[in-house]
Structure 1
């Protein structure tokens, strides 16, 4: 089941990450960055769900309850949820959290095979995907890709240590940051693998297998990012 989801988040990295994460599951996402724009869109169109950051430049996300009703608004924050809150997503957000509210398919891989060529050869860098994420920011793409290469080289050993120690929270936080960077750089294949890994963090055996695949793909990607 595909949902129409309004994403209200002023942080462009988080906004791109959520759009790519949910879009990869077949949902139609509409990312924006302000309460006022959200009110306008909610008045004009019908959305199945609204994800809103608690603190926004022009107001609070929870003020949108009067537009969508409590059953269709999920709030996002880096802070722990208030006592008794049931509509709260604590950042970093992953599919495991969202699965409580969204009808996600059993497979964490996009059903349209996005990011994989018909012959099965992975597309390491997708300029079209980067263009959609960056909009008019394409001149900065080479620099962003070099930054992602450095970030991968720095973060992979740390994430491997967290995995070995069974520390899923820092592993999820690190993957969340890398997923957002992958979205901006058009690293569709690594982003897909990261989504699979995030969805399997509570399964020790599966997360180890998926981590090995993710780390191998990341190491192969680094030279392409620097090219």
Structure 2
């Protein structure tokens, strides 16, 4: 690769990893933790590619993209974000970002996309992965979108789903949403309406209970210009399916074609099987399946379970239920349970816990009491479906709070281990960001330097800048401390006066 890359991220680890990887690939890199600095570089004409985080201390990276477009229309922008929601994916598409990746991202994947962005000077119309359908001056489709929409997830299957929804959001193409019961098909269908430019018109649902010709016709009229959701069309009898075909044909060829609603359907995990078995008419199937989206079951996105559980607890509090949080033990147990009922079961469990928990923090015992079948939680380290994506690296060990509970350790024992666990988490993250590659040589000294500087800074703050007290706190000689302050370029402030 060749070119200059501008990086904006408030996470120093990510800036370091990206700088090293891009430099090794032949790029020149400027990295900052502030959007203001990024914009200054862009306006000065620096950079051939921007890689920016979304949530930054001085603003939102997505909100900065129009200013980047105004200053440098041909400058591609790759967005990376820990806000792994469908709204983030759609906003990145609307803002005409070159690409969007969720955190934690796969480093080789990001490098591939950076290479693609640098390999061509993009015309303004080619910057977006697909047309967003937002004209200049229009309000974005996500304006006023419900932030509590429970479509979050880092898993590749969910990110692929988000991208597909974002690209088809304002198209007229009918969409068939497939998946197991409880995975959130109706929520995905609702997002096609609520986040699109049809959101001011009607959203009407047609089910197998609406079998009469009058009911089908009435639903079609009420959905005019908006969205018609057809739930489980294979569950309709053949006569009702024929009436649906007639209604769609009348729309497509009649005088009200311009007011035809967007048709979104939900079905089971195997629509092709329904077609082959004769449960779904072929002529209806091909009218509904302009594009097919499959929503993955929760067991296929294990790493999303815990953040989704916390999101659902917060959502329950927004709806008037008591505010709760998960204890470490409860969090690990949730991570281990396979949730055969998918997101619907998880949401029901979180709502019950919000109502029944004795305190603000939900305990492991309280969680086990409301799970339909607590026997599904693995009873031995590494057993069952709780083994996660990192199990190959960690030996499949049960999460520490669960292991401690199994061993009968007192609660304080796990609390004393949190610092080591936190360090281990960040070190593992550093390795994971390199994908299949190893970090650059010299890792031991580099990591010690990364830890030493913030340790000294925090210790100085805690002792009010008194170096004698700071040296005593750290257990080192004062002259050693002074040398380290000089070597690490730790500036002396009013609060930190040299003695």
Q: Under a length normalisation based on structure 2, what TM-score does the superposition of the two structures give?
A: 0.23
The structure having more radius of gyration, on CA atoms, is 2
Q: Under a length normalisation based on structure 1, what TM-score does the superposition of the two structures give?
A: 0.47
- Report which of the two has the higher share of helix: 1
